[in-house]
């Protein structure tokens, strides 16, 4: 019976759906996390009778035919890039992006990683780094004696030195943008890598056309909506239950056939 395998594909698809929703809920409080959504596609169809084929007469054609589907598959899991709310922390090392763009960081492998998590810290060498110690590009190093530093909306970094009230510019933070942000490869730790699907990065100063601005003392929150995720979880659960019911019904039908004499 086709219904057994069809229902099995439905159960597997909804299991993937629940996995995606679970990951969204688990990262509700992850800085700058972007929720994901699973999309599904129907499988190949078995054509018992092809639409439009001749039905015997000279001009007679089958109007709709008989096409029986084979179930469903996961077509993709894509990232929803909606802006998360900005949460004030009053920590001068925290920086949020308002709009498009990614911070660039240098990974231990020498590759460039991309992140929207701006919860930065200062290393023992005075460098501006991520929570994992990866240096922010281009390198920003606070000089000895710095008592205060400020990051403008356009990414200009200024410090005030002890005994000198005049701010000094020590660097410029740049953002990277991609033509297809959904094509970035997620590596965990709030980091992404460039792929052939994402396209090459374009770097520019914050505030330039097509790029967001920076807000010091803020962190971008996750864009996960708890109510929407719970609603989606209930729908996925019900769909899984209905597919399992189809399996049970098919089993009962087979059992009835086996008991015939």
Region label for 245, one of left (φ > 0), alpha (ψ between -120 and 50) or beta (otherwise): alpha
* Cα 149 to Cα 113: distance, rounded to the nearest angstrom: 25
Q: Which two tokens stand for residue 256?
A: 């009835």
pLDDT of 56 reads: 66
**Nearest CA-CA partner of 79 in 177, 175, 189, 184:** 184
Where do the H-state alpha helices sit in the chain? Answer: 2-26, 226-258
> Once rounded to an integer, what is the mean pLDDT over residues 82-102?
93
* Cα 68 to Cα 65: distance, rounded to the nearest angstrom: 10
Q: Are residues 147 and 36 in the same domain?
A: no
Q: Are residues 69 and 99 in the same domain?
A: no
Looking at the structure of the chain, the number of domains it has is: 2
**Residue 166 scores a pLDDT above 70:** yes
What helix, strand, coil percent values describe the chain, rounded to 5? 25, 35, 40
DSSP result, 130-186: -TT-PBBSSP-BPPTTEEEEEE-TT-EEEEEETTEEEEEEEEE--EEE-S-GGGSEE
pLDDT of 106 reads: 93
Q: Are residues 126 and 203 in the same domain?
A: yes
Q: Are residues 90 and 46 in the same domain?
A: no
> Once rounded to an integer, what is the mean pLDDT over residues 229-240?
95
Residue ranges making up the domain that contains 208: 86-220
**Residue 61 scores a pLDDT above 80:** no
Which pLDDT band holds residue 52 (cuts at 50, 70, 90)? low
């Amino acid at each position: 019976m086709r219904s057994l395998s069809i229902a099995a594909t439905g159960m597997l698809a909804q299991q993937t759906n629940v996995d995606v929703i679970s990951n969204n809920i688990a990262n509700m409080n992850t800085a700058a996390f972007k929720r994901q959504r699973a999309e599904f596609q129907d499988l190949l169809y078995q054509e018992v009778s092809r639409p439009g084929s001749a039905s015997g007469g000279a001009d007679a054609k089958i109007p709709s035919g008989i096409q029986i589907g084979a179930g469903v598959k996961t077509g993709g899991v894509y990232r929803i890039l909606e802006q998360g709310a900005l949460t004030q922390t009053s920590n001068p090392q925290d920086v949020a992006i308002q709009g498009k763009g990614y911070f660039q960081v240098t990974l231990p492998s020498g590759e460039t990683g991309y992140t929207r998590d701006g919860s930065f810290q200062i290393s023992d060498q005075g460098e501006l780094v991520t929570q994992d110690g990866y240096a922010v590009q281009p390198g920003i190093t606070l000089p000895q004696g710095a008592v205060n530093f400020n990051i403008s909306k356009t990414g200009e970094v200024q410090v005030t030195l002890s005994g000198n009230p005049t701010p000094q510019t020590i660097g410029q933070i740049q953002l990277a943008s991609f033509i297809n942000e959904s094509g970035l490869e997620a590596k965990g730790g709030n980091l992404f890598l460039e792929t052939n699907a994402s396209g090459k990065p374009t770097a520019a100063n914050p505030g330039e056309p097509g790029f967001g601005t920076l807000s010091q003392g803020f962190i971008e929150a996750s864009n996960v909506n708890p109510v929407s995720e719970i609603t989606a979880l209930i729908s996925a659960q019900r769909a899984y239950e209905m597919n399992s019911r189809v399996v049970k019904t098919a089993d009962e039908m087979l059992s009835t056939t086996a008991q015939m004499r």
